[in-house]
A and B are shown apart, each in its own frame.
Chain A
Amino acid sequence: MLAYVGRRVLLAVFTVWAISVLSFAIIQLPPGDYVTSYIAQMASSGSVVTEEEAQNLRIQYGLGQPIYVQYLKWMKLVVRGDFGQSMEWKRPVIEVIGDRLWLTVVISVAALILTWVLALPIGIYSAVRQYSPGDYLATFVGFIGLAVPNFLLALVLLYLGFVLFNAHIGGLFTPELQDAPWSAARAWDLAKHLPIPALILGLAGTAQQVRIMRANLLDELRKPYVVTARSKGLSELRVILKYPVRMALNPFASTIGYTLPYIVSGSIIVSLVLGLPTVGPLLLKALIAQDMFLAGTIVLLLGVMTVIGTLLSDILLVWIDPRIRIEET
C-alpha cells in the first residue's frame, strides 16, 4: 500500500513539473510579448508609448532574458507563493485570481459529487430493471448527455430559461451579493446557484458512469453467487446491494481519476457561457492580452489542483478496495 501511494505521489510530482513547463512554454509561444500587446492597446485608445517606456517595461518584467532564465525566475517566485504581477491589471496575480480559483474547485467538486450521486442509483436501476421503460429513458438521456458538448447544453438551457421563465440562470450569485464579503447569506446564495452548472458539467460524466455501472452489474448479476445468495433467502435488495454492486463498483471507481480533469476542463468553457466567476473567463482574457504571468499561473494552479484531486481519489480507492493494493504492488 505504501509503495503504491509512494509511486502515485512520485508520478503526481512529475505531472506537476510537466504542467509547470507546459504552462510556461505556452505563454512564451506567441510572437511578441506583453509590451507589444500593451503598445497596441495604448495605440488603439489614442496614446503613444515611447521607445524608452517600452524598454523600461521589458526590463521590469525581465522579458529580454533567455527563456530558461525567465522560467527559473518564475518558479523561484512560485515556490515562495508569489506568482508575480499581472501586467494587465497591475496587481499581484494572486489578488486578481482571488476567490475565482476556489469557486472553480467548488463547482468541479460539486459536479463530481453529483456525477456519483446520480450515476450510482441510476446505473443499478438500469441493470436490475434491464429493458424497462426506466432503463430506456436512462440510456436515452445518457446518449444525449454524451453527445451534447457541455457548452452547447449550457447555451440551450440559458436560452430556455430566458424564453420560458424570463430568468437568467447563469452566474453563481444574485447581483446584490456578487461583490459582497463572504457571509452565511452569500454561501447559501452560492449553494442555490450551484446545481445548474454542476448538472451541466456532470451530465457527460454521469452518462458514462451509468453505462459503466450498468454493464458491470449486468455481468455480475449473471454469476452463480447471486443465485446462491438468493436461494439462501436473502431479500432482493440485500442480494443486489451486498454482493454484485460491490463487485461492480471497482471498475466504476477506477475511472474517477480521469473524470476530474475532464470536469475541470469543461468548467472553463461552461463558465464563459454561463458567466460564472471562475478562472475560465479570466484565462481567456489573459491569453488574448498575453498577460503571461496571469495565464501561466491559472494553467499551473488548475493543473496542480486537478493532480491533487486525482491523487486523493486514487489513495481513497486503494484504501477502500484491498484488491487494487495487491494487484498494483
Chain B
Amino acid sequence: MDARIFVASQWQLMWWRFRKHKVALVSAVVVIGFYTIVLGADFLAYADPDASEAQRSLMPPQRVHFFDGGRFAPYVHGVKGVRDPQTFKRVYRPDPSRKVPIRFFAEGAPYHFLGVFPATRHLIGVDGGGDAAQAIFLLGTDVQGRDLWSRLMYGTRISLTIGLFGVTLSLILGVFLGGLSGFYGGVTDTLIQRTIEILRSIPTIPLWMGLAAAMPREWTILQVYFAITIIISLLGWTELARVVRGRFLAMREEDFVVSARLVGCTRTRTIFVHMVPSFMSHIIAATTLALPAMIVSETALSFLGLGLRPPAISWGVLLQQAQNVQTVAISPWLMLPAVPVIVVVMAFNFLGDGLRDAADPYGH
C-alpha cells in the first residue's frame, strides 16, 4: 500500500481520498442519476407534459399494484371521476373492476432521444395510450389535468441545465476576475475585492426580482432561459472568484511556481501549465458547492412568477401551483416537486464537501 501511495498520481490520490467519504460517494451517484434524467427525460416521461384534460383535473397519485395473482405484472386500477353530491367537487375513485396494466418499453408519443434519434418507446406506458380511460398517473395530475410525473421529468431537465449553465458563466467570471485579482495584486486586486464586498452586502433576492421583472413579457422561453441564467450568475460569481484568488495568492510563492519563473517560463505558461492544474481540483469542488445555490435561485424566481413562465416547465414553475395553502391542503401531491429540489441540493452539498476534502490529498 505504501509503495503505491508514493508512485500514485495526484488524481489517483484524490480518488482514494474521495472514495473514503461514503456519503459523498452516494451523493455522486444521486447527482449522476439526476443528470441521466436530464438526458432521458422524454424516455422516462410516459405522457405529453402539456396535454391537459379538464376531465382529470387534480387527480391524486395512483396506487401501483406490482403483483397480479402472484406474478410480477404491475397494474393500476382504472379511475372513475364523480361529483361529490354535497360539495359538487370532482372526486376520483379507483374502479377495482378495471385493471390498466403497465407495460415496460411501451409505444408512446414520438420524440427524439438525446435530441437526435427518433424514437417512440418510453420506459413505461399503457396499451392504447391515446385513450383517456387507459392512462396512468403515478404522481397525480395538476389543476389542468396534466400528468405530474411527466412534467417533473421535463422540469428536471430545465432546472438542472439552467444551474449548469449558470455555474459555467459564474466560473468564467470568477476565474477571470479572481485570477486577475490574485495574480496582479495591487490596485486591480483592491478594486475587484471591493466590488465583491459591495455585491455581497446587497440582499440578492430583491435585486434578482428587479432584474427578472425587467424581462419583456413577450420573450420566448429560450430568451427567458438565458436571461435567468445570466441574472443568477451575475451575482453568483463572487464566491468562486474568492476561492480562485485565494489559491493564486497561496501558490504564487510556492517553490515550484518560483522555479518555473526562474527557468524562464512565460507568464501564460506559468499560469496554465503549472498553476491551474494544481488548483483545478479546488475549483471543481467550489463549483459543485455553487451549483445548488443556482438551482435554488431559479426555483425561487420561477416560484414567484418572475423567472421561467409557463409553458416552460421547471421545478419552480411546478411549485407555483403549490403557492396557495388551501390548494395544497386538498391536493398535497402538488408539493412533490419540492422533493427533487431538496434531494439535489443535499447531494450537491455532500458531493462538494467530499470533493473539497479530496482536493488536497497531501493534507492530513
Contact = CB atoms under 8 A, between A and B. Distances in A.
Contacts of A26: 207, 210-211, 213-214
A229 B314 CA distance: 57
20 contacts: A11-B194, A14-B198, A18-B202, A151-B300, A152-B342, A155-B323, A155-B338, A158-B325, A159-B328, A159-B332, A159-B335, A170-B325, A258-B201, A261-B201, A261-B204, A265-B203, A265-B204, A283-B209, A287-B213, A299-B206
State which size class the interface on A falls in: 35 or more
Interface of A: 11, 14-15, 18-19, 22-23, 26-27, 29-31, 143-144, 146-149, 151-152, 155-156, 158-159, 162-163, 168, 170, 257-258, 261-262, 264-266, 268-269, 272-273, 283-284, 287-288, 290, 295, 298-299, 302-303, 306-307, 310
Closest 4 CB pairs of A and B: A29-B214, A26-B210, A287-B213, A265-B205
Chain A interface, DSSP helix/strand/loop, else mixed: helix
B329 A273 contact: no
Interface of B: 194, 197-198, 200-207, 209-211, 213-216, 292, 296, 299-300, 303-306, 319, 322-323, 325, 328-329, 332, 335, 338, 341-342, 345-346, 349-350
Given A156-B335, A159-B335, A302-B203, A273 B209 contact: no
A303 B332 CA distance: 37
Given A143-B346, A143-B349, A159-B335, A303 B325 contact: no
Contacts of B328: 155, 158-159, 162
A27 B211 CA distance: 8
Contact of B211 (A11, A19, A29, A307): A29
Contacts of A23: 210
Given A265-B206, A302-B206, 12 more contacts: A14-B198, A15-B198, A19-B202, A22-B207, A29-B211, A144-B346, A155-B325, A155-B338, A162-B328, A170-B325, A266-B205, A273-B323
Contacts of A15: 197-198, 201-202
B361 to A, nearest CB: 20
Contacts of A147: 292, 342, 345-346, 349
Given A15-B202, A159-B332, A152 B338 contact: yes
Nearest to A15: B198
Contacts of A14: 194, 198
Nearest to A264: B203
